[in-house]
Every structure is written in structure tokens, then in C-alpha cells.
Chain A
């Protein structure tokens, strides 16, 4: 029923209209005194000490990237877990091979020192 949505439409129109009105009024009537510290971000009356968009140490990226790779591989454990009873030993061996391949990657990043923080 289109008429059932009419109140919503009215509400929408009111909201947009009122916002536009307030903005227009303050733009037309309000005094404008641009000062330097009015332009800084509001931080509860405390002077901001630095830009909020700081750079993070790139080490975080490395750890996050390694995490993503190993994390997503876990998705393949779900179908295996669901069908484990039907697949029996075959499934177990398949999964061990899968884990062994992941392990090679793990040994590699460990030996290359990707996991050392300092």
C-alpha cells in the first residue's frame, strides 16, 4: 500500500527541510569570525597534540598480513570437519598434507625472521 508509507515520506521531508532551514539561517544570520583555533578538531577543550592519522609501525602490517593468510586457510577445516565421519582416514591424511604445506610456510617465515618483533 503506497499510502501506508505517506507518514514516512512526510517525516523525511520535515527532517530534510528542517536541517536545511537551520543551516541556512545560521549561515545567513550568524557572525563569522574565523580564528585559528576554531579550525582545529574539537577534543574536549584540550589542545590536540598531533594529527589523528598517525602512521603505524610497518611491523603491524607484516603481522596482520601473515595472520590473514594463515587465518583464511582455516576455512577449509570446516567442510572437512563436517564430512569427517564419511571421509575417515582418507580425509585425515588429506588434511595432514594440507597442514604440512602450511607448516612449510610457517617454518619459512620463522626462519626468515618475519616473526621477530625487534
Chain B
């Protein structure tokens, strides 16, 4: 039996919400970033589910692009985090707060 569309939509909505909450409550940039990836993948799941539902390929092509964008973000993000860690030896966002006002 093929799971109906709504199952995928509910799952992706749950994943997206977990991602949003994760970004808002966690203070470690790596964990925050993983939560963001969760949001992106929730969107990917939605795209693929609808793509299958409409029987068009458009949504699946979109996922290719989002994957690439996410990879580029990962690399730039990790590079920034590594370079902060090198100069500060911590990456907790509450510690990284010389800019306040």
C-alpha cells in the first residue's frame, strides 16, 4: 500500500517545526545548523511528495537544486565556524557576543 499524500505532508511539517524550534532554542551553531538542514529537508520531502502526487517531474528537479544550495551553505558555514573556533576556541553563540548593543 502506498502511503497517502497527507502522511508525507504531516511528516514534513513535523520535521520543519522541529527544525525551527531547534534553531530557536539551541545555542550551538553546529546544532542550529543541523536544525536548518532539517528545515530544508522537510521542504525537499514536500517537493518530492507533491511531485509524485501531481505526477510531474518539476518538484524533483527542485530538490536537486536545493541539495546543491544546502551543500554550498554547509561548506561556507563550516568554514566560518572553524575560523571562529581557531580564534576563540569556543563556538557557543552566547559566548560569541562581542557585538551587542
Contacts and interface: CB of A to CB of B under 8 A. Distances in A.
A35 B82 CA distance: 38
A68 interface: yes
B82 to A, nearest CB: 6
Q: Which of A65, A71, A73, A79 has the most CB of B within 10 A?
A: A65
Query: How many of chain B's residues touch chain A, expressed as a range?
Result: 10 to 19
A20 interface: no
Contacts, number: 27
B96 interface: no
A75 interface: yes
Interface of B: 61, 64, 67-68, 71-72, 74-75, 78-79, 82, 86
A69 to B, nearest CB: 5
A113 B62 CA distance: 34
A28 interface: no
